[in-house]
Amino acid sequence: MTLTITITDPLSGHRIAEPITFTIPDQDGPDLRWATTCDGQRILCQKLRAQTEEGTTYVAVLDLDGAETLTLTLGEACAPSDVTEGITADDPGREADCFVRLNTGAFDLEMCSGTAQGTGASKWGLRHFRGLHDDFELLPSGNNAIGGFYGPFFTPENGLINPPEHTTVRIETVEKGPVMHRYRMHGTIPDGLLEELKGLGFTIEWTFTYRTPFFQRRYEVDPFRTVINGRAVENKITVGDEFEGGRGELVFDRFAAYHGTTYRAGDPYAGLLVDMVSKTLKESEADNPKFRDFRAELQDMEAAHWDLYWRMFCVWEGVLSNVEITERLGRVRALAHSAADHTDRDWQMTDTPIEVSASPHETIFSTAANKTVEFHAATGRAMVWYTSKASGAFQIVQRKQSGWVNWGTNGENECPELPVGVHIKTAYGPYAKSWKSLADHLEIGPDVNVEWSL
């Protein structure tokens, strides 16, 4: 039987190492096998262990030159010893909780399981990420992470539970081969103040393919329904990707949405939280070692790290009683609801990329989109996101003083806006000028058809 796979790209433009999957009726196919193009080029195909259809599913990566049709003929098995290139996981990790360090052919990244110490350096997620095309590290310190999710747990209503910092994950290897690695994180979110958010579990599936300039992920959380920022929130989360350039340096200094950006500048909630820290230090009758430590570290409010502000009101930290946290954050919420929608915060609409660091609080909140970018104007490096369903809002931070940059799927007052179960594709490379074309390719993949004949 001859098996032919036809790949048709409906879009123009060039694709690099586009992952494609196909299923054949053979139940016992080899783990690796070759396919051959019409011009004789051999393409390595990797069998997926997690099968969801009858037959055997393989994955391969292909370079495609715009709106073309490519035909592959599936051939003989490939011995592992014959494989000369592919994803490697040989280098030791830099972090103690590193589960795997991958060289994907496009990125050098480190996936960590977290240590639940309540600091940035204890987060699970991707704690190091370096592009191989430019040798640029987006997370040099390991004190931040790509891939955490926060709301509706990291909210004033729930006592600011921070899942990446406050819990660990068990990481399962789902697929491992030269063409694809896939991992699944399993975790349980620590309890906060809201009963309906207690005891919830989650999984995050990560997929990396050889030389592909993007990676894929999907978040699943046990079903929930709550109220955040006065709005009903059902099965929506805040995914947050962080980057760091060091003091005075930004790895990305512009933001844009595909169809133009409608946004409001500034973050009144953050300012109100800082004000409440000052009041709490003066008014609170709390008397425990943690509170005394916080008081000492916050002697100079202007120089203090932002984390110290929210951690004072975090249930997990135990600096204040749950009763005092609820009362004080209730006051912050009431003021923030009003301040966020005050008429002096005009909605702005632009087709021009936004220099976020020039905005109040070096923060903007933009409206719904499914294709977005953050890029560095001088170098052209860019991170591009596509989500299979739109996030209802985004919080973008580009804070030059600390060098911290954030892409978050939440609206004002930490209200989560990304539906659970959405597929996210995230690309990194020199795409500042071509990001819209790339985003289209992330959204619309090639069509794949399998035919067999005797």
Closest CA to 202 of 176, 232, 229, 166: 166
**Pairing assessment for the beta strands 236-237 and 136-137 based on DSSP bridges:** unpaired
Do 301 and 125 form a contact (C-beta atoms < 8 A)? no
**How wide is the angle at C-alpha 406 spanned by C-alphas 405 and 408, nearest 5°?**
170
Tell me the C-alpha distance between 453 and 52, whole Å: 24
Mean pLDDT of 134-143: 97
Tell me the C-alpha distance between 334 and 385, whole Å: 33
Residue 198 has pLDDT above 90, yes or no: yes
Q: In the chain, which segments carry CATH 2.60.40?
A: 2-85+444-453
- Name the percent of the chain lying above pLDDT 90: 86
- Give the single-character DSSP code of 399: E
308 — pLDDT class (breaks 50, 70, 90): confident
Residue 448 has pLDDT above 70, yes or no: yes
Do 15 and 149 form a contact (C-beta atoms < 8 A)? no
Give the pLDDT of residue 53. 66
Tell me the C-alpha distance between 125 and 144, whole Å: 9
Structure tokens belonging to residue 370: 């499914």
Range 348-381 burial, b when 16+ CB lie within 10 A, else e: eeeeebbebbebeebbbbbbebbbbbbbbeeeeb
Give the pLDDT of residue 114. 98
Structure tokens belonging to residue 203: 């999984």
The alpha carbons of the chain give a radius of gyration, in whole angstroms, of 23
pLDDT in tens, 414-440: 999 999 999 999 999 999 999 999 999
Question: Taking the CA of residue 189 as centre, how many other CA atoms within 13 Å lie in the half-sphere pointing to its CB?
Answer: 34
Residue-wise DSSP of 128-193: EEEETTTTEES-SSSSS-EEEE-TTTSSGGGT---HHHH---EEEEEEESSSEEEEEEEEEPPP-S
Cα 308–chain centre separation: 24
Give the pLDDT of residue 452. 79
pLDDT in tens, 274-287: 999 999 999 999 98
Structure tokens belonging to residue 170: 């068990």
Do 162 and 189 form a contact (C-beta atoms < 8 A)? no
* Sheet strands (E) in 66-169: 69-77, 98-103, 107-113, 124-131, 136-137, 146-149
Q: Name every residue whose Cβ is closer than 8 Å to that of residue 454 and which is 6 or more positions away in sequence.
A: 1, 2
pLDDT in tens, 148-160: 999 999 999 999 9
Closest CA to 236 of 317, 307, 316, 155: 155
**How wide is the angle at C-alpha 424 spanned by C-alphas 423 and 428, nearest 5°?**
155
pLDDT in tens, 207-230: 999 999 999 999 999 999 999 999
Mean pLDDT of 332-361: 94
The β-bridge partners of 98 are 112
Give the pLDDT of residue 175. 98
User: pTM for the whole thing?
Assistant: 0.95
Q: Name every residue whose Cβ is closer than 8 Å to that of residue 16 and which is 6 or more positions away in sequence.
A: 63, 211, 212, 213
Give the pLDDT of residue 91. 86
Residue type, 101: R
1 — pLDDT class (breaks 50, 70, 90): low
Q: In a 3-state reduction of DSSP, which class is residue 329?
A: helix
CATH of 98-266+345-443, one of 3.30.420.40, 1.10.3720.10, 3.20.20.70, 2.70.98.10: 2.70.98.10
- Give the single-character DSSP code of 445: P
**Pairing assessment for the beta strands 254-257 and 447-453 based on DSSP bridges:** unpaired
**Pairing assessment for the beta strands 98-103 and 201-209 based on DSSP bridges:** unpaired
Q: How many residues does the chain have?
A: 454
Q: Which of 105-114, 299-308, 347-356, 373-382 has the lowest mean pLDDT?
A: 299-308
pLDDT in tens, 319-331: 999 999 999 999 9
pLDDT in tens, 260-307: 999 999 999 999 999 999 999 999 999 899 999 888 888 776 666 667
Mean pLDDT of 55-66: 92
CATH assignment of 2-85+444-453? 2.60.40
Give the pLDDT of residue 276. 94
Do 149 and 166 form a contact (C-beta atoms < 8 A)? no
Give the pLDDT of residue 155. 97
Residue type, 324: E
Phi, psi dihedrals of residue 415, rounded to the nearest 5°: -80, 120
Q: In the chain, which segments carry CATH 2.70.98.10?
A: 98-266+345-443
Q: Name every residue whose Cβ is closer than 8 Å to that of residue 266 and which is 6 or more positions away in sequence.
A: 345, 359, 360, 361, 363, 364
H or E element in which residue 295 lies: helix 289-297
Closest CA to 268 of 259, 276, 279, 258: 276
Structure tokens belonging to residue 443: 């959204």
